[in-house]
Structure 1
Amino acid sequence: MEKIPYLNPHKHTEFIGGVMVPPGEAREIDPTHHPKYRAAEAESVQAEPTHIVDVLLAGTSAAILSALPSLAIEDVELLGELEQDRAARKEVLAAVAERLLEHAAAEHDTTLQGGTGEAGGEQLGDKQGGEGGEAPGGEAAETATPAKAAKK
């Protein structure tokens, strides 16, 4: 911790934190030994943990755009909300919107594929089987629609 000057205003010598301060003179002392030191103020001066989104918003657009792919989707949503309220930089908002759309599309693909997240697999036309062109559920192949297939 940096030392601060202390001027002794009294008519007698003072000892502040092991430092002798003669009357009318100044000496550098540790601020925690100063008579008017308040521990609560010193603790509040300490930096609180800062969220990554706050750090990014304080930076440049380029810094935000380079960090965007590595952010969690919740942080991307928060970044978009705060950017709209603050600077509203078009390139940042466009990149946030694109990332959210990509995430939504990936989530949508995962739910359509049975939650596996794997691409490929059997297509609806590949599921036709049995006699008379029936689908595995017993419906005629031409009436099996993606909506009906998803309900199965």
Structure 2
Amino acid sequence: MCVARAAEKCKMINRNQLGRALRTTLTKARVERRLVCGLFPAIALLEKAPEDVVFCVLPTTRPGDAATHIQAVLLQAFCYENCIPVIQVDSSEKLASFCGKAKDNCHCNCAIITRDITLPIPKDDSMPMTDNEQFLTDFYECTLEEFPRPVIELPI
């Protein structure tokens, strides 16, 4: 198993803060050029360097959109196999907006945040993360066994 949970850490997570934390993380990663948006660029990065991925963000799929659903399931499986947390969000349009792709009816079917190479590597050789990235990763770890998977509502 890729995840080690601490019950105390899970009790401390304030789910009301998740949307804003994710918005801040996406915006910061975009400015720092650590954000990869779109299915094909994400797949290319995952094939080349999965160890550089902090987490993957996927919007919920629309009912009746089988192709997108299959792509999302396969991407989640790949991320799970490579110990990459997957955060689900409520809207592909909002995700596109935070990725800087807010054109008319623009959708974003996934986003990947890569590691910040300017952060020092922790003593335990884990992935270096910002506070918000760690908060979101902790949320993922604490909700790994919840079904249905929790969906973060992105702020407008």
- TM-score normalised to structure 1 length: 0.23
Higher helix share: 1
Max Rg structure: 1
- TM-score normalised to structure 2 length: 0.22
